[in-house]
Amino acid sequence: MPAVKKRKVAQEAPADDSDVSSNDSEGTPQAEADSEANSQVSEEATPAAADIEAAQPAAKKSFKELGIIESLCEACETMGYKAPTPIQSESIPLALQGRDLIGLAETGSGKTAAFALPILQALMEKPQPFFGLVLAPTRELAVQISQAFEALGSTIAVRTAVIVGGMDMVSQSIALGKKPHIIVATPGRLMDHLENTRGFSLRSLKYLVMDEADRLLDLDFGPLLDKILRVLPKERRTFLFSATLSSKVESLQRASLSNPLRVSVSSSKYQTVSTLKQAFLLRPHKHKDIYLVYLLNEFAGQSAIVFTRTVHETQRLAFLLRTLGFGAIPLHGQLSQSARLGALGKFRSRSRDILVATDVAARGLDIPSVDVVLNFDLPTDSKTYIHRVGRTARAGKSGVAISFVTQYDVEIWQRIEGALGKKLDEYDAAKDEVMVLAERVSDAQRYAIMEMKNYDEKRGARGRNKFGGKRSRDEMDKDEG
Ligand code: AMP
């Protein structure tokens, strides 16, 4: 990361020049630190803004005390938000002052309301169509954000439109024709509409949000974002939210923000060891399936996400687990959009309690009350590990994350532990009990292989190979997992 001069001003006075927190480095959690001490506001070091603007300490204030108007406070109450989360306490007053913001926060921290409330408040003061645009990397996240806007803005009758790939363009054009206040979009499809939908322009836009900016850029959206930014008015407020601050995100912020303040809150789930219990299970590769079944039995009745690295493995495990009577449902990027939303819906409603997923599911999806995360395949980078385990132990609840480490994964695991800044314990699995499952699991494996053959044949018949060539804009927000 290029040197960006920052000062910590939120909690301590006098501010200390030398205190450049590592809070934002590659998503590394601030282990066991106190959550209050971890929220910060800092000014970007542009020559014009070298001095610090004192921020209010994040004392426990109500939404009203942060400056939120009555009708929106009521909406928060209806949503069950008793008090602002740390990212909301830090961001909302600054956003209401009209500042551009870079929020370093993840899904689960309450960041959607942190940007939605100030935008809705500004909208109430001066209602107009195409007031705000939120860009998100995945379709599911876009749907989720628009739902949050609608729920929080219900008392002020806000109109939103979701513009994402994989859905009918004509009905989206009609939705845009109704002049919504807020558009939540994935970049590819938005650009298609900007180029092809008559009468649609964002020239009067007042607020732009780039949510999960690190993910947006991961998915090669860079050139597309540049194109979109060129057709937006410069006179606007911009909020950029990201779980991590990579050099790509830095370049994005420089291109599109004006004199921004940085707000960073490391989410409490990483700070309290008692709420998130992390462990690993060191076992040979060939025994992974059997240990998975063992663990799912151990956590029977609880909701779990099993993360894998490939679409094939996701689908295979879903077949295997179903054969053994588990309520498992797969989620990956090669399912149709409606199948993905359907899978998530079933998992949310608990009609299935095991979601087997590629990292598509780790990206920004708000899946409430997940008790257990099992990393069946380790992620290749620690950033993704942090996203994955962030699906559990949210909002003060407890959670468990167990990672399978095989003979091939030791180095990756050491890197992850390095990023976490601590060594984790090995999960205590009773080997005798595990091996009792061997025969049943082996039968189920054979069955799953057969099912996979049928599945692959069906997919082949439908004409696959769409990932072979250059990805279309529509494909980009689909992700490859
Ligand atoms: P987000 O990080 O925006 O995806 O939010 C994660 C979850 O926290 C969502 O289910 C929100 O509805 C919920 N949430 C947001 N703000 C608050 C709050 N102040 N108090 C309680 N829950 C909240």
Which residue CA neighbors atom 20 of ligand 1 most closely? 81
Which residue CA neighbors atom 19 of ligand 1 most closely? 84
Instruction: Judge if the beta carbon of residue 112 lies within 6 A of ligand 1.
Output: yes
Instruction: Judge if the beta carbon of residue 392 lies within 6 A of ligand 1.
Output: no
Write the CA distances from 100 to 94, 131, 236, 237, integer angstroms: 8, 16, 9, 6
**For the residues 188-216, what does the mean pLDDT come to?**
93
Do the domains 276-462 and 5-264 match in fold? yes
pLDDT value of residue 378: 95
Instruction: Judge if the beta carbon of residue 144 lies within 6 A of ligand 1.
Output: no
Instruction: Judge if the beta carbon of residue 81 lies within 6 A of ligand 1.
Output: yes
* From 55-64, 112-121, 131-140, the region with the lowest mean pLDDT: 55-64
- In the chain, the N- to C-terminal Cα span, in Å, equals 27
Contact 30, 271 (CB under 8 A): yes
pLDDT at 23 over 60: no
Task: Spell out the domain ranges in the chain.
Answer: 5-264, 276-462
Whole-number Å distance between alpha carbons of 65 and 75: 15
pLDDT level of residue 32 (50, 70, 90 thresholds) = very low
* From 10-24, 94-108, 183-197, the region with the lowest mean pLDDT: 10-24
Q: Compute, in angstroms, the gap from residue 289 CA to the centroid of ligand 1.
A: 35
Bridge-based pairing of strands 39-43 and 261-265 is antiparallel
The helix/strand/coil state of 474 is: helix
Whole-number Å distance between alpha carbons of 48 and 59: 29
Whole-number Å distance between alpha carbons of 191 and 229: 10
Instruction: Judge if the beta carbon of residue 111 lies within 6 A of ligand 1.
Output: yes
pLDDT at 477 over 80: no
Q: Compute, in angstroms, the gap from residue 184 CA to the centroid of ligand 1.
A: 18
Q: Where are the beta strands (DSSP E) in 155-286?
A: 160-163, 182-185, 207-210, 237-242, 261-265, 276-282
**Percent with pLDDT over 90 in the chain:** 52
Q: Which of 319, 323, 297, 324 is nearest to 308 (CA)?
A: 319
pLDDT value of residue 170: 95
- What amino acid is encoded at 130 in this protein? F
* From 261-265, 293-297, 451-455, the region with the lowest mean pLDDT: 261-265
**For the residues 125-138, what does the mean pLDDT come to?**
95
Instruction: Judge if the beta carbon of residue 390 lies within 6 A of ligand 1.
Output: no
pLDDT level of residue 108 (50, 70, 90 thresholds) = confident
**Other Cβ atoms within 10 Å of 228 Cβ, number:** 22
Whole-number Å distance between alpha carbons of 289 and 301: 19
pLDDT value of residue 415: 86
More confident residue, 431 or 158: 158
Contact 173, 454 (CB under 8 A): no
Greatest mean pLDDT among 2-6, 170-174, 417-421: 170-174
pLDDT at 57 over 70: no
Q: Compute, in angstroms, the gap from residue 81 CA to the centroid of ligand 1.
A: 7
* From 2-16, 39-53, 89-103, the region with the lowest mean pLDDT: 2-16
Mutate to test the pocket of ligand 1, among 107, 112, 150 (most ligand atoms within 8 A of CB): 112
Instruction: Judge if the beta carbon of residue 108 lies within 6 A of ligand 1.
Output: yes
Q: What is the average pLDDT score of the chain?
A: 80
Q: Compute, in angstroms, the gap from residue 279 CA to the centroid of ligand 1.
A: 27
Helices (H), 54-178: 70-78, 86-96, 111-125, 139-152, 169-177
Mutate to test the pocket of ligand 1, among 79, 106, 117 (most ligand atoms within 8 A of CB): 79
**Percent with pLDDT over 70 in the chain:** 79
pLDDT at 147 over 90: yes
Which residue CA neighbors atom 18 of ligand 1 most closely? 81
Contact 264, 106 (CB under 8 A): no
pLDDT value of residue 232: 95
In DSSP terms, 363 is beta-bridged to none
Whole-number Å distance between alpha carbons of 316 and 17: 53
pLDDT value of residue 295: 96
pLDDT at 47 over 60: no
pLDDT at 104 over 90: no
**Other Cβ atoms within 10 Å of 38 Cβ, number:** 22
Q: Compute, in angstroms, the gap from residue 110 CA to the centroid of ligand 1.
A: 4
pLDDT at 364 over 70: no
pLDDT level of residue 405 (50, 70, 90 thresholds) = very high
Which residue CA neighbors atom 5 of ligand 1 most closely? 110
Nearest atom within ligand 1 for CA of residue 144: 4
H/E segment holding residue 433: helix 431-435
More confident residue, 218 or 441: 441
pLDDT level of residue 268 (50, 70, 90 thresholds) = very low
Contact 349, 474 (CB under 8 A): no
Counting every residue written for the chain, the total comes to: 481
Contact 363, 387 (CB under 8 A): yes
CATH of domain 5-264: 3.40.50.300
Which residue CA neighbors atom 6 of ligand 1 most closely? 108
More confident residue, 298 or 392: 298
pLDDT value of residue 468: 41
Q: Compute, in angstroms, the gap from residue 368 CA to the centroid of ligand 1.
A: 10
pLDDT at 53 over 80: no
pLDDT level of residue 456 (50, 70, 90 thresholds) = confident
Residues 6+ apart with CB under 8 A from 251: none
Q: Check: CATH 3.40.50.300 for 276-462? A: yes
Whole-number Å distance between alpha carbons of 246 and 244: 6
Contact 15, 9 (CB under 8 A): yes
Instruction: Judge if the beta carbon of residue 366 lies within 6 A of ligand 1.
Output: yes
pLDDT value of residue 146: 96
Which residue CA neighbors atom 8 of ligand 1 most closely? 110
pLDDT value of residue 3: 30
pLDDT value of residue 325: 94
pLDDT value of residue 345: 86
What pTM was computed for the model? 0.60
Region of 424 (left: φ > 0; alpha: ψ -120 to 50; beta: rest) is beta
Instruction: Judge if the beta carbon of residue 73 lies within 6 A of ligand 1.
Output: no
Instruction: Judge if the beta carbon of residue 110 lies within 6 A of ligand 1.
Output: yes
* From 93-107, 388-402, 404-418, the region with the lowest mean pLDDT: 388-402
